[in-house]
Amino acid sequence: MPITQRNNVVISGKPDGPAIVFSHGFGCDQNMWRFVAPEFEDQYKVVLFDHVGSGKSDLGSYDADKYASLSGYAADIVEILEELDLTKVIFVGHSVSSMIGVLAAQSAPERINRLVLVGPSPRYINDENYVGGFSPDDIDGLLDSLSSNFLGWSSAMAPVIIGNPDRPQLGAELTESFCRTDPAIAAQFARATFLSDNRADLIDLRQPTLILQCADDIIAPLEVGQFLHEQIPNSTLVNMKATGHCPNLSHPEETVASIKNYLQAANAV
């Protein structure tokens, strides 16, 4: 099966433009970039995809051993870039995809030359002298929550315009549940994410990196953004006004502006 099919890769924008890859985090799928990615289509070749186990990826390719750690997901990203023959890519990773991107960038530096990390965290569980935000019990609580909720969305519910009047056809399209995955896979992805520890991988990151830190984000709190900025050598930290963990959905204009400002400044150098 081609990699592009396995990961439901969708390409849009300028065919010969520089490539920008958007990588979704734990919970949903590439639709998380619905309000952000199109804003880059005039200048860039925009690449969207689903991690294996999420969205419309090939569930048959899910391997519990491979995806028990983030490096399994990172390997897939490198494979996608190789299949599309992309180099000097800007990698935009939300949530856990931030660290997945860091790992991918280190294993394929010729393919990724700049990173944008949205709501990143290298470790979620508190440690000595480190505030990740959570205790192990909290992660168990999340697993309970996942097992109690199937998120079936009845297509009988009236389709609602989702806030983009330029694209009214989106209402009819969205009758599937974008945040519903095989419950066993969801639980395993949760573990791989929330039990991860990539603090040691930060210091060796060579590529210039933008860290977008949200206000009042329990999953990636302010201390974590600060920690990342201190650890990643060539990093820029931007504190957003957006609250919560998904500024790409809740505050797309600010997210887009923050990324574009950073990229413009980088190109001006």
Partner 1 sequence: MSAPYENFPELLAQESDSDLFENAPNGYLLCMPDGTIIRANRTLLTWTGHDAKDLIGERFQNLLATGDRIFYETHYAPLLRMQGGVREIAVELTCADGSKLPILANSIMTFDANGLPMIIRTSIFGAIHRREYERELFLAKEQAEASKEQAKALAQTLQESLMPPSAPQMGRVEVGTAFHPAGNGSEIGGDFYDFFETATGDWSVVIGDVGGKGAAAAAITALARYSIRAAAITSADPATALGLLNDSLLISPTHKLCTAIYGRLQQESDSAHFRFAVAGHPLPLLVKSTREVIAVGQPGMLLGAFDNFNAATSEVTLTPGDSLVMFTDGITEARINNDFFEEGRVRTFLSNNAHLSAIELASQLADEVLNFQGGFAKDDLAVVVFHLS
Give catalytic residues, as residue numbers: 95, 217, 245
Which positions lie near partner 1, rule CB under 8 A? 25-28, 31-32, 34, 95, 134, 138-149, 151-154, 157, 159-165, 174, 177-179, 194, 217-219, 243-246, 249-250
Task: Name the packing angle between helices 136-148 and 183-194 (round to 10°).
Answer: 160
Rounded to whole angstroms, what are the CA distances from 99 to 124, 167, 197, 205? 12, 33, 9, 11
What is the Cα–Cα distance from 73 to 87, expressed in whole angstroms?
Answer: 19
Any residues with CB less than 8 A from the CB of 115 and at least 6 apart, and which? 90, 91, 92, 93, 98, 101, 102, 105, 205, 207, 208, 209, 210
Q: What is the smallest separation between the CB atom of 258 and partner 1, expressed in angstroms?
A: 18
What is the Cα–Cα distance from 72 to 52, expressed in whole angstroms?
Answer: 10
What is the Cα–Cα distance from 100 to 23, expressed in whole angstroms?
Answer: 9
Is the Cβ of residue 5 or residue 145 nearer to partner 1 in the bound state? 145
Is the Cβ of residue 218 or residue 265 nearer to partner 1 in the bound state? 218
Is the Cβ of residue 25 or residue 53 nearer to partner 1 in the bound state? 25
What is the four-CA torsion angle of 242, 246, 251, 252, rounded to 10 degrees? 140
Is the Cβ of residue 236 or residue 250 nearer to partner 1 in the bound state? 250
Is the Cβ of residue 20 or residue 249 nearer to partner 1 in the bound state? 249
Q: What is the smallest separation between the CB atom of 90 and partner 1, expressed in angstroms?
A: 23
For residue 89, the 8-state DSSP code is E
Given its phi and psi angles, is residue 151 left (phi above 0), alpha (psi -120 to 50 degrees) or beta?
left
